[in-house]
Amino acid sequence: MHPLLASRARLGAYLLGWAPIALLLTGIARSQGWTWAEAGSLALPLCLLAAFLFLSAWFLCRALPLGRTVEGLGAHGAAWGMAAVLMGGLWAGLAWMLARMLAWVPGLGALPQRVNTALPVLTGLGILLYLASVALSYLMLAQDRALEAERKGAELQLLAQESELKALRAQLNPHFLFNSLNSLSALTAVDPARAREMCVLLSDFLRRSLGLGERRLVPLREELDLARAYLAIEQIRFGRRLQLAWAVDPAAEPALLPTLLLQPLVENAIKHGIAALPEGGTLSLSAEVTEGHVILRVENPMDEDAPTPQGLGIGLRQVRQRLLGRFGSRARFEAGVQEALHRVTLVFPLETEP
């Protein structure tokens, strides 16, 4: 189907665009001595016929896509010219038939003779109008191709995000799992009660992480629950070396954010910060709402003199890309070290589930 016929808005705008052409045709007829009745009674229906007759240019343009070579344009030009002459002559013939039909109306008896005289002018005007329709058709085809390319680009981006999320689920710090299993093995001999507790916590964490991984957006509340499950296991491993400081505004908990966005930050804080310090430290996590935006911070101590741990930058870069990919310029990501404290700040709009 022609794209103009598939959209009422497009068709209305297209037909409205023929109104000035009808006025121009009326003015030309008046300049040749036609009466207002003769000019108006022919120009309006004739332009309406042209509007639908010249829609055929779109099918020709679709069959002859524009090439990049001069030879291709030359071959297309011959086809356009032949089609324009044919359609211009057909339009002039329809004008002659319309004039003979209108000759039965009182006051329009001289219309056939006037049209006979104006046939060359009508043919030339029809050729020009058809070529204009060809140009319009190529513009519509170019716009449709651009929209299709944008749609495919969005689909590819979505697939890339889904692939990235699957990869993220698959690599959620396997070292954490290995260390947890080693700690669990050691605890079974010295503290069976804590070993059972750790087994339950590990099971809860894996269940939550798999459940979140099936969704693209989740409330911050669920991300925090997953982080708590993870940190509960790590506290058994690290004991007093790991302290937690939470300051979460309840108003921020319903905020939607990309799935598993917080978890890599918490894992980085443990693996590259607190685990590397003999005395351990305090992991601080805060969330507040300010002027319609959520400000989420994760802070942990680290050794400023130690080399940058391998993999830390990659994890932060992934978090930044996923955050900005979801919220664009409405979000902000900051990460840095100051006075032996590593701080990551995420700012994003407060959007909730309907």
Please choose, from the candidates 62, 68, 84, 76, the residue with its C-alpha nearest in 3D space to the C-alpha of residue 140.
Answer: 62
pLDDT digits (tens, 9 = 90+) for 222-274: 899 888 888 888 888 888 899 999 999 999 999 999 888 888 899 889 888 89
Q: Please provide residue 124's backbone torsions phi and psi, each rounded to the nearest 5 degrees.
A: -60, -40
**Whether CATH 3.30.565.10 fits 171-349:** yes
> Rounded distance, CA 214 to CA 84, Å?
57
Which of 90-104, 149-163, 168-182, 281-295 has the lowest average pLDDT? 168-182
The mean of the pLDDT values for the chain is: 83
Predicted pLDDT of residue 210 = 66
Specify the amino acid at residue 86. Answer: L
Give the residue, 351 or 339, on which the prediction is more confident: 351
The arithmetic mean of pLDDT across residues 180-199, rounded, is 75
Cα first-last separation, the chain: 37
Is the pLDDT assigned to residue 176 strictly greater than 90?
Answer: no
Domain residue spans in the chain?
A: 8-158, 171-349
Is the pLDDT assigned to residue 54 strictly greater than 60?
Answer: yes
The arithmetic mean of pLDDT across residues 215-221, rounded, is 86
Predicted pLDDT of residue 203 = 78
Is the pLDDT assigned to residue 177 strictly greater than 70?
Answer: no
The arithmetic mean of pLDDT across residues 12-32, rounded, is 88
Predicted pLDDT of residue 289 = 95
Predicted pLDDT of residue 108 = 85
List Cα–Cα distances, 306 to 202, 242, 272, 282, in angstroms.
31, 20, 10, 18
Residue 74 token pair: 């030359």
Predicted pLDDT of residue 58 = 85
Is the pLDDT assigned to residue 145 strictly greater than 80?
Answer: yes
pLDDT digits (tens, 9 = 90+) for 291-331: 999 999 999 998 777 666 555 566 788 888 888 888 988 99
Predicted pLDDT of residue 326 = 86
Please, where are the H alpha helices in the chain?
8-17, 19-31, 36-53, 56-63, 70-102, 111-170, 174-190, 192-212, 220-238, 263-268, 312-327
Predicted pLDDT of residue 33 = 85
> Rounded distance, CA 96 to CA 116, Å?
7
Q: Please provide residue 304's backbone torsions phi and psi, each rounded to the nearest 5 degrees.
A: -65, -25
List Cα–Cα distances, 304 to 153, 267, 345, in angstroms.
42, 19, 19
Is the pLDDT assigned to residue 127 strictly greater than 80?
Answer: yes
How many alpha carbons fall within 13 Å on the CB side of residue 246?
Answer: 10
Give the residue, 295 or 217, on which the prediction is more confident: 295
Q: What percent of the chain has pLDDT over 90?
A: 18
